Structure 1
Amino acid sequence: MVATTAELKTGGAAVQAPGRGLSWWLTGASEMAKRNICTILRSPQLVMFALIQPVMFILLFSLVFGGAVDVPGGDYTQFLLPGIFVQMVLFGSVASATMGMSMDMQDGIMDRFRSMPISRSSVLVGRTVSEILRTVVSLVVMIVVGTIIGFRFLGGFLPAIGGIALLLFFGYSLSWLGAFIGVTASGPASAQQIGLIWMFPFSFLSSAFVPTESMPGWLRVYADNTPMTTVVNALRGLFGGTPVGNSVLVTLAWAVGIILVTAPLAVRKYASQSR
C-alpha cells in the first residue's frame, strides 16, 4: 500500500501515524536496502553464487561452444558476452528478489516490518535497490573474466557506460517482477518453480547465445521480439561500436513498462497481506 501514513499496531489495534514526507520514505527504503545487503554479505553461499555462476557460464559457452557457432563478425566472445551479461542479470535479479521476498514472508520478517512506522512500498523498494548493488558486483566479475578471454568495449568509454547503465536499469525492472512473484507465491519452493518455468525459455529463446537467423521462421518471430533479444542487441551495438537502431529505446520502454505493471501489483499484494 503506497501511502503517506504508516500503520502502527499496538495492543492488537491498528492506529494511524502521520506520514513524514519524502525524507521519511527514503529513509525507510534505504534502511531496507542496507538490511538486505547485510543479509547477502552474511550468507557466503549467496556471495559465492553471485561471483562463481557468471564465470562458469562465460567459460562454458565461450570455450565449449564458441567454435561451433557462426556469428556476425566471426568473434563469438564479442557476440556472447552481452548475452551472458543480460542472462546473469535476469537470473540474479529475478531469482534473488523472488527467493528473498518469499523467504522473508515465510520466516515472518515481513510481519515485523508491518509493525514498524515505514511505508509498505519502501520495504519493496529497498529490496529491489539492493539487487542493483548485487548485480554490480556480478557484472564487475563478468567484465574482468570477459576481458581475460578477449572481450573488449570496442564502442568506446561513453557507449560502454551507457550500456552498463541500460543493463542495470533493465535488471532493476526485473527485480520488481521477482518481488511480485515472491510476495504472491505460497512459499520459497513454489516461488523457485514459478521463476524457473519462464526464465529458461525467456533467456535461451533469444539472440543471447546464437543469431536468431539460425532459428526456424516461427521461432525467430518470437525471439526477435522478446525484451531479452532487444536488450542484448542494444548492448552488442553499444559495446561493439555498431548501430543500435531503436533497440535502446525499445529496451527502455520494456523496462519502464515492467516497472509500471509489476511495482504497483507487488506493493498492493504486500499491503493486502498486512491487513
Structure 2
Amino acid sequence: MTAISPAAPGVTVSARPGVAATMRHTATLAWRSLVQIKHNPMELLDLSVQPIMFLLLFTYVFGGAIAGSTGDYLQFSLPGLIAQNMLFASLTTAIGLNTDITKGVFDRLRSLPIARSAPLTGRIVADTLKQAWAFALFLGVGMVLGFRVHTGVFGVLGALALLLAFALAMSWPAVLIGLTAENQEKVQIVAFSLIMPITFTSNAFVPTATMPSWLQKWAEINPVSHLADAVRGLLSGGPIASSAIVSLLWAAGLAVVFAPLSIRAFRNRT
C-alpha cells in the first residue's frame, strides 16, 4: 500500500500563480521574445523591409496615377499603409506561436513553475510592442519622403494608441490561426487569404468614391477603412471621433469573439 505523506512543516504546496505572479511571468516571456531579436536580427528586418517597400512602391509607382502627384498621394496613403502594415504584422504572432508549439518550446515552458497562460500572453504583448517600431519606421520614412503631421505630438500618440489597441485585438485571430494551423506555410496561406482582400477593398489606398457602387457599400463598413480614416484624422487633421469609435468597436468585437476561441484552442493544444 502507498500512503500520501503530508507536507513537511513550513513547506507550502504550490498553487496556481496569482495575478501579480502571472503578470511578472508574462513580462518575462515578453522580454524573451523581444531579446530574441538580438540573436535573430532577421526578425526585425522583416518588420522593417516590408513597411519601407510598401511605402516606396505605393508612393512612386501608384501615386502619380491615382492622385496626380506623389506628394498628395503620400499624404493620403501613409495612414492607410500604416493600418495595412499593422494587420500584416499580426502574422508574426501566428507564425511565432506556431513555431514555439511545433518545436516544443511550449512543452519546455510548461515544466517551469510559471502561469500556464504566460507563454501565450507574453507572445501577444511582445508582438504588440513590435508594432510600435513599425509605426515609428513608417512615420519616420514617410516624413523624409514629404509626409507632414498637422496635429502635433498628441495626434501621433493618439494614432499610435489606436493602432496598438487594434493590434492587440487582432492578435487573437492570429493566435487562433497559429494554434490550429499545422505549420508555418499554412499559417501564411490562411492569414494572407484573409488579410489581403480586407485591406485592398478598403479606402486605405484609394478614396471610396472611386470604387464601384457595390464595393463602396462594403468599403464603408470595412474595419480597415475606419481605422485608416481615424489615423488620417489623427495625423493629418479632419474628423476623428466617428472613425475612432467604430474602430474601437471593431477591436472589441474581435476580442470578444476570438479571445475565447483562442484560449480554448490554446488549452487543447498545450
On whether the aligned pair clears a TM of 0.5, the verdict is: yes
- Any runs of at least 4 consecutive aligned residues in structure 1 with deviations exceeding 4 A, and if so which? none
Equivalent position to 1:54, from 28, 51, 54: 51
Query: Which residues of 2 match residues 97-246 of structure 1 at below 5 A?
Result: 97-246=93-242
Count residues with an aligned counterpart. Answer: 256
* 2:50 corresponds to 1:82: no
Amino acid at match of 1:170: F
Q: How does 1:23-42 map to 2 (within 5 A)?
A: 23-42=20-39
**Displacement of 1:122:** 2.2
For structure 1, the 5+ residue unaligned runs are 1-15
**Structure 1 letter corresponding to 2:61:** V
Bigger Rg over Cα: 2
TM-score, with length taken from structure 1: 0.88
Task: Provide the C-alpha distance between the structure 2 equivalents of 1:118 and 1:261, rounded to a whole number of angstroms.
Answer: 27
- Whether the 8 Å contact between 2:94 and 2:175 is mirrored in structure 1 is yes
Note the C-alpha offset of 1:208. 0.6
Letter in 2 for 1:193: I
Q: Over the residues paired in the alignment, what is the CA RMSD in angstroms?
A: 1.6
**1:266 CA displacement:** 1.4
Q: Deviation of residue 245 (structure 1)?
A: 4.4
Moved more, 215-224 or 36-45: 36-45
How many Å separate the matches in 1 of 2:63 and 2:40? Answer: 34
Residues 246/85 of structure 1: CA separation in 2 closer, same or farther (3 Å cut): same
Identity %: 37
Unaligned runs of 5+ in 2: 1-12
Structure 2 distance, partners of 1:193, 1:80, is 26
**CA distance in 1 between partners of 2:56 and 2:262 (Å):** 36
The CA deviation string for residues 101-160 of structure 1, in whole angstroms up to 9 with x for no partner, is 111111011111222232332221111110122111121111111001111111232222
Q: 1:139 and 1:235 mapped to 2: Cα distance?
A: 11
Deviation at 1:26, TM superposition (A): 0.4
Structure 1 contact 124–267 (Cα < 8 Å) conserved: no
| Partner SS state of residue 152, structure 1 | coil
